[in-house]
Amino acid sequence: MAANAPIGVFDSGIGGLSVLRHIRACLPQEALLYFSDAHFAPYGGRPERQIEQRVLAIGALLAAHPVKALVVACNTATAAAIAALRRAYPALIVVGVEPGLKPAAAASTTGVVGVLATEATLASARFARLHETLSSATGVTFLPMACPGLALRIEQDQMYLPESIALLRRFVLPLLEQGADTLVLGCTHYPFVQQQIAAIVQDNAQRNVTIIDTGAAVARQLASQLAMQGLLRVEPAPSVDGLSSGSAADLERAFSRLLGLTVRVTQTEI
């Protein structure tokens, strides 16, 4: 595996850009290749087997470039398919994301944590194991809140519409009413509405509320894995390229709108 090979990052759509921005900040010398599976987005309501098939197809696409690491920048895809991806590509570094229950438990003073996530993430065996383990170990009560439709609205840049804010309030307010003092952003799309969530919290909470985004932790884990395997890029050549199963122009606009980057995106069929 070549140290100057790019790092592959992928998500069902634009949500993984919230992880990619942390990777760029942590590893500014690295080349990145981002794939958006926009044609099949969102993953949240899809069957687990279908998600696994898509993840393996994306893994094959990115491995063919080739990349030196794969970052599954999607909570739903991580829960459904990261084990299968690691079996398929044992020579590659494969880093996933998961809801930040552990840091949330450490941050909470009330012992009540709200978890905003997709239906598929909350229904996964991986989440169930993490939830049970940490509940038993810490005594913290985790309140899972499925957020159907939220990722799609973020994907479509609709989150400043009044009806979208109303939808977000329906997800956040019940958690605050039940005493949550910490909220976990359990989908990589959700950091792009963190400001809106913070505004809802400020208007309705009687206490300080911590919002947990695990993107920085993913970037640190990736950096650690690359360092251990001697794969950190020595000759800095930072670049970002994009691939999409949907509209290349839409992903280019998302890079510009969300990260302030001008990125060339190629549409690809898989």
Catalytically active residues, by annotation: 74, 187
The residue type at 164: S
Residues 245/96/73/134 CA torsion (nearest 10 deg): 130
DSSP string of 159-225, one letter each residue:
TTSHHHHHHHHHHHHHHHHTT--EEEE-STTGGGGHHHHHHHHHHH-SS--EEE--HHHHHHHHHHH
Residue owning tokens 């000759």: 235
- For the chain, counts of helices (H) and of strands (E): 11, 10
Find how far residue 90's CA is from the centre of its chain.
Answer: 22
Within 8 A by CB and 6+ apart from 11, the residues are 17, 19, 35, 36, 37, 73, 74, 77, 188
What 3-state DSSP class applies to 35? Answer: strand
**C-beta separation of 34 from 241 below 8 A:** yes
Residue 77 to residue 47: CA distance in whole angstroms:
11
Find how far residue 251's CA is from the centre of its chain.
Answer: 16
φ, ψ for residue 54, nearest 5 deg: -65, -45
Residue 64 to residue 58: CA distance in whole angstroms:
10
Residue 111 backbone zone (phi > 0: left; psi -120 to 50: alpha; other: beta): left
